[in-house]
Homo-oligomer: A and B are copies of this chain.
Amino acid sequence: MSTPLKLHEDRLFPAEPGIRALACELYADVADLPIISPHGHTDPAWFAHDEPFGNATELLLHPDHYVFRMLYSQGIALEDLGIGGGGADPRAAWRIFAENYHLFRATPSRMWLDWVFAEAFGIEVRLDAGTADLYFDTITEKLQQDDFRPRALFDRYGIEVLATTESPLDPLDHHRAIRGSGWGGRVITAYRPDPVVDPEFEGFADNLRAFGDLTGEDTLSWPGYLAAHRQRREYFAAMGATSTDHGHPTAATANLSDADAAALFERVKHGGASAADAELFRAQMLTEMAAMSVDDGLVMQIHPGSFRNHNHQLFAGFGRDMGADIPTRTDYVQALKPLLDRFGNEVGLSIILFTLDESAYARELAPLAGHYPCLKLGPAWWFHDSPEGMRRFRQMTTETAGFYNTVGFNDDTRAFLSIPARHDVARRVDCGFLAQLVAEHRIEDWEAAEVARDLAYTLAKRAYRL
Q: Is A340 an interface position by the 8 A CB rule? A: yes
Contact status B359-A402, CB under 8 Å: no
Q: Which residues of A are interface residues toward B (Cβ below 8 A)? A: 3, 7-8, 10-19, 69-70, 72-75, 102-108, 111, 307, 310-314, 323-329, 331, 333-334, 337, 340-341, 344-345, 347, 356-359, 362-364, 366-373, 375, 383-384, 386-389, 395-396, 398-405, 436-437, 439-444, 446-447, 450-451
Known contacts being A3-B444, A14-B440, A372-B73, is A313 close to B327, with CB within 8 Å? Answer: no
Q: Which residues of B contact A447 (CB under 8 A)?
A: 102, 105
Contact status A327-B367, CB under 8 Å: yes
CA distance A401 to B314 in the complex (A): 19
Across the A-B interface, the 7 shortest Cβ-Cβ residue pairs: A8-B441, A15-B439, A11-B441, A386-B399, A359-B359, A75-B347, A327-B363
Given contacts A12-B441, A107-B402, A313-B344, 15 further A-B contacts (CB under 8 A): A7-B441, A12-B440, A69-B370, A70-B402, A102-B404, A105-B402, A105-B443, A105-B447, A105-B451, A106-B442, A307-B333, A326-B364, A327-B364, A356-B363, A358-B362
Chain B, residue nearest A448 (CB):
B105
Chain B, residue nearest A344 (CB):
B311
CA distance A106 to B26 in the complex (A): 16
CA distance A310 to B339 in the complex (A): 12
Q: How far is the CB of A49 from chain B (nearest CB, A)?
A: 33
Contact status B369-A387, CB under 8 Å: no
Q: How far is the CB of A50 from chain B (nearest CB, A)?
A: 34
Contact status A389-B383, CB under 8 Å: no
Contact status A370-B73, CB under 8 Å: yes
Contact status B442-A345, CB under 8 Å: no
Contact status A13-B106, CB under 8 Å: no
Q: Which residues of B contact A313 (CB under 8 A)?
A: 341, 344-345
